[in-house]
Structure 1
């Protein structure tokens, strides 16, 4: 399976390039929309919460701390949600192609993941430029950001392939996950700091594997502090297990995917 993916590496690269170009055909701003959408959403949250509701972070008095905190968390979440949601529906969306062309079907979620990673890198570049204008420069903890990117991509890809295969056979999966992701977003400390949660709900953070990765982004980009290694045990375990299960499930279900579609 991995040998065939390597043989089709040029197909994967060209498909990623075509996907990036095809999203905004005849758009004058083109790829800038990859950056403008999350920035606009974060800007709205920042204005409403920091200016209107006077929300402040308890760990710092910097005037731009809350927008940076919010942008950092949303960058991590955007990468995860994009890989997961697109992987869930990619087999159904590309059903006509799968019926006409012979190629490793696993190329499709890999193309999704590659596209999401490029979008994410462009977004991070835009954030760094914005942070400079805000007078904030990330510190040495920034070197841990690639670890967060790898873990988020692994979890999103693993869960996305598993749910994507299941969605081919049970179309309700994508509808249910749309609701689950909305709830998951608000149970992750992105808009609010983790220490404002009441103690009776603190267990939610321990059960949420994305929360430590969002915190890693916020620590690296805002607070310049190193994460607690123990907090990364669950994300690492989930990333490895979900990737393994995804490969196993996909290999067993692959012969039937085209017939069901």
Structure 2
């Protein structure tokens, strides 16, 4: 399976380019929408929570701290949710191509994952421009971002492939995950710091594997502090397990995918 993916590496890279071009082929702003959507959402949250509700970060009284905190968390969440949702739907969306062209089916989630990673890098570049506007310069901890990107992408890809296969056989999967992702979003400290969560409920947020990964982004982009390595053990182990299980699960189910589609 890995050998076949390597043989089709040029097909994957050209398909990533085609995916990026095709998503906004008739749009005047083109690829800018990759950046504008999450930035606009973060801006709305910032205005409502920091200006209207006067939300503040306990550790930082800088006026721009909360918008930067939101931007960091939203960037990490967007990477995870986009890889997960697109991988979950890719087999159904690309069913006509799968029936007409012979290629390793696992190329499809790799293509959407690669496309999402490129848009994420563009989003980070836009966020750095906004940081300059705020007069905020990330510190040396910025070198942690590749690790955060890798772990979030692994978690989103693994879960996305598993759910994508299940979604082919049980079409309710995508509908259930839409609700589950909304719940997971509010269980992750993106719009609020974890230290304001009541003690009796904090363990739920801490069990969330995205919590330390979102925190890694926030530490690197805002607080300029190094995360506790122990907190990354759980999401790293889960990401590796999800990716490994996704490959095994896909290999077992792939002979029946086309028949069901």
TM-score (norm 2): 0.99
In 1, the alpha carbon distance for the partners of 2:147 and 2:254 equals 30
1:75 corresponds in structure 2 to 75
2:98 corresponds in structure 1 to 98
Q: Paired residues, what number?
A: 261
1:161 corresponds in structure 2 to 161
Shift of 1:206: 2.1
Shift of 1:205: 1.9
In 2, the alpha carbon distance for the partners of 1:28 and 1:90 equals 26
In 2, the alpha carbon distance for the partners of 1:94 and 1:27 equals 22
Structure 2 unmatched ranges of 5 or more:
none
Indicate whether 1:174 and 2:174 are aligned. yes
Which string of whole-angstrom CA distances, capped at 9 and with x for unpartnered residues, describes residues 134-163 of structure 1? 000000010011000000000000000000
Which string of whole-angstrom CA distances, capped at 9 and with x for unpartnered residues, describes residues 6-26 of structure 1? 111111111111110111112
1:143 corresponds in structure 2 to 143
Shift of 1:65: 0.1
Instruction: Map 1:241-252 onto structure 2 (within 5 A).
Output: 241-252=241-252
Structure 1 unmatched ranges of 5 or more:
none
2:22 corresponds in structure 1 to 22
SS of 2:104's partner is coil
In 2, the alpha carbon distance for the partners of 1:23 and 1:244 equals 30
Across the aligned residues of Structure 1 and Structure 2, the Cα RMSD in angstroms comes to: 0.5
SS of 2:24's partner is coil
In 2, the alpha carbon distance for the partners of 1:75 and 1:55 equals 20
Which string of whole-angstrom CA distances, capped at 9 and with x for unpartnered residues, describes residues 14-53 of structure 1? 1111110111112111001000000000000000000010
Shift of 1:176: 0.5
In 2, the alpha carbon distance for the partners of 1:106 and 1:55 equals 44
1:35 corresponds in structure 2 to 35
In 1, the alpha carbon distance for the partners of 2:128 and 2:172 equals 39
TM-score (norm 1): 0.99
Q: Which runs of 4+ in 1 moved over 4 A?
A: none
1:211 corresponds in structure 2 to 211
